[in-house]
Homo-oligomer: A and B are copies of this chain.
Amino acid sequence: MKAGYLGPKATFTDIAVQNAFPDAERIGYTTIPDCFKAVINNEVDMAVVPFENALEGSVHLTTDYLFHETNPPIRAEIIVPIQQHLMVHPMQYNKWNEVERILSHPHALAQCHKFLHNQFRGVTLEQLTSTAAAAKYVSEHPESNIAAIANELAAEKYNLKIVKENIHDYDFNHTRFIVLAHSHTEILPSLTSTYEKTTIMVTLPSDRAGALHQVLSAFAWRRINLSKIESRPLKTGLGHYFFMIDINQSIEDQLVKNAIEEIESLGCHVKILGSYFSYHTQK
């Protein structure tokens, strides 16, 4: 089993894959679209990408790509707790509190906003494509007095010294990853699932008053619980949106099927991203 993921090695996505699919061969890709394409081209059996963070919200690139492109379905979600640490090159260990630049993923920098504001006000924050990329960069620049914010796995992998543990502002922070794979591929995470979900994307027929209300009515009177409703720009002009909706039931449920059928009859365009189980990891 080959699992593509948003690399480099030791990203939180890598942690998600290691927890859910410990026996899979892991192949890191540079961008989220590259992960999607790897499944489409059958380079890998599945792709794991970040989808939503409890503090920062959705990963827009994933959401937009799922909406605008044709992709394999979502087959599982993996929810991972996020623990961020400040790390430096061992050569810089003695002067870590005088670092000139701090590198990380924009979400990680935001997650440590209070810590950075209190301890490193004025220090340049540099945004990289992942926390692991930041750790990698620091490991390759031993002469620079710089630090990375990343996870424990990254410190280990890139031989960095953790100088401040758990610098994230909130303890309950989690990231939700999704697993994309063709429907004929068997996906069996080494975790126990608690519940099933369905994710759909809905484009309303026009800007007519109450169109979203009609869509929600189709679910509400059937007592179908929605765990998430999010709007994203359609990219056709200010004020035009599509809606991503998470349904806390399987698409196989007759009531869910009927609700979606009726929404389509109302003139909405519905794209079903997948019906899948949700898995939680301990770390």
Interfacial residues, chain A to chain B (CB-CB below 8 A): 52-57, 60, 79, 106, 126-127, 170, 172, 174, 176, 207, 209-210, 212-214, 216-217, 219-220, 223-233, 235-241
Contacts and interface: CB of A to CB of B under 8 A. Distances in A.
A32 to B, nearest CB: 12
B209 A172 contact: no
A235 B106 contact: no
A220 B208 CA distance: 11
A68 B176 CA distance: 23
Given A56-B233, A60-B56, A212 B226 contact: yes
Contact of A55 (B106, B174, B233): B233
Contacts of A231: 228-231
A54 B219 contact: no
Given A209-B225, A225-B209, A226-B209, A238 B56 contact: no
Contacts of A106: 106, 127
The 10 A-B pairs at the shortest CB distance, nearest first, are namely: A210-B220, A213-B220, A213-B216, A209-B225, A54-B238, A127-B127, A172-B237, A174-B238, A230-B231, A57-B233
21 contacts: A52-B238, A53-B233, A56-B60, A79-B238, A106-B106, A127-B127, A172-B237, A207-B225, A209-B223, A209-B225, A210-B219, A210-B223, A210-B225, A212-B216, A212-B226, A213-B217, A213-B219, A227-B239, A228-B239, A228-B241, A230-B230
